Homo-oligomer: A and B are copies of this chain.
Amino acid sequence: MKKFINSVDELVQDSIAGLVTAHEDLLSLNETPLFVCRRTPKQSRVALVSGGGSGHEPLHAGYVGFGMLDAACPGEVFTAPTPDQIVAAAERVEAGQGVLMIVKNYAGDSSSFQVASEMLELECATVLVNDDVAVEHSTHTTGRRGVAGTLIVEKMIGAAAEAGANLYECKSLGGRVNANTASMGVALTSCTVPEADAPTFAIDAGEMEVGVGIHGEPGRYRRPLMPADDIVALLLEPILKDLGLAAGSAVLLHVNGFGGTPLIELNLLNGIATRRLRAQGLQVKRWLVGNHTTSLEMAGASLTLTALDDELTALWDATVTTPSLRW
C-alpha cells in the first residue's frame, strides 16, 4: 500500500503537528506526552477529554474546539493512548468542574482511560460509546464496539458542557445519546497499517465485509458486492431493529466514509438512506455526510442513526467551531 509517509515512528506525531499548524487559531499542541487541546481554555465548565488510536482522523483531534472537545489524546495507529497522555491532557483542561472522558468501547482504550482516572486527583466520570450493532463481542472488545456514533456523543455533550451542564448531567446525557445511537458499516477494501507489509485482511474483488469494524476487524459475514440500494437496506435493518423506533420518530442520519470512499458515493448513500427511512415512516431531520470516523484508507462506509428529541436536536444544532465540524 502506497502512502504519503516519512517514517512509521513519526507518522502520528507529525500528522497531528500538521493538523495543529493548519488550525493554530483553535488548537494547541502538547508534544510530550502527545495531546491536542483548545487554544483558548474553557472557564468554569466541565472539561471533555477523548482520544483513541490514530488512523480514524478526523476523530478525535479534529473535534477539539468550541462546543465540542477540550482535549484529544491520539495513540499510535489503531493503538490506545497511554494513561500519561490522558492524565496530562485532563490536568491541562480541567476548569474547576471536573473531567468527562468520552471513550470508544475497546479493551485498550477503556483500560487506559480507567488507569488515568485513577491517577488523576480530579473529579472524573466516563461515557463509554458502543454504538456498533454489528457484533455483540469482537476481537478487540467485550461488548459492542464504539464507532461513528462517537462524534455524535461528543457533539451533543460538547454543546451541553458549553452551556454549563454539570459533570453528572453531561455523563447522563452521554449515556442517553449513546443509547439512542446505532451504527453498522461495510468494507469494500481492507486498510493497511503503516508498519505492516500486508493489508489487515484479505477481501476478494467482488466481495464486501458486512459489519466490519473500524480497524478492519471482522464483521458479520462476507457477501458478493450488491447495488447501493441493497447495501443500505442491509445496514439499516439491524440499526432499526436495535433502536426500535416508533413510527414518526425524528432521527439524525450520519453517513460516514472509512477514508478511501469519495464524497460522490457517500452523497449517493445519503439520498438512498433518507428515502428508505422516510418510506418507513421516520422523519429524517438532520444529516452529516463525510469521512469522519475513518480506518486509514479503507474503502467502505457506515450508517449511524440517532433518535432525536427537541433537546438533542438543539444540542446538535448548537454552534461548533472545530477543524472538522463547524457551524
Contact = CB atoms under 8 A, between A and B. Distances in A.
Interface of A: 2-7, 11-12, 14-19, 21-23, 54-55, 57-58, 62, 188-189, 205-206, 208, 225, 227-229, 231, 259-272, 274, 287-289, 291, 294, 296-297, 299, 301, 324, 326-327
A109 to B, nearest CB: 18
A92 B17 CA distance: 45
A141 to B, nearest CB: 23
Contacts of A261: 4, 297
Most chain-B Cβ atoms within 10 A of its Cβ — which of A11, A206, A265, A299? A265
Contacts of A327: 326
B267 A6 contact: no
Given A14-B268, A54-B264, A58-B263, 7 more contacts: A4-B261, A5-B268, A6-B227, A15-B268, A18-B289, A19-B267, A291-B291
Nearest to A294: B262
A53 to B, nearest CB: 11
B326 A270 contact: no
| Chain A contact surface mostly | mixed
- Residue among A22, A259, A263, A264 facing the most chain B CB atoms (10 A cut-off): A264
Contacts of A288: 22
Contacts of A274: 18, 21-22
A303 to B, nearest CB: 11
B57 A18 contact: no
Contacts of A263: 57-58, 62, 259, 291, 294, 324
By Cβ-Cβ distance, the 6 closest A-B pairs, closest first, are A18-B271, A22-B287, A259-B262, A18-B267, A57-B263, A18-B270
Given A14-B272, A289-B18, A227 B5 contact: yes
A75 B326 CA distance: 29
A46 to B, nearest CB: 26
A296 B227 contact: no
B262 A296 contact: yes
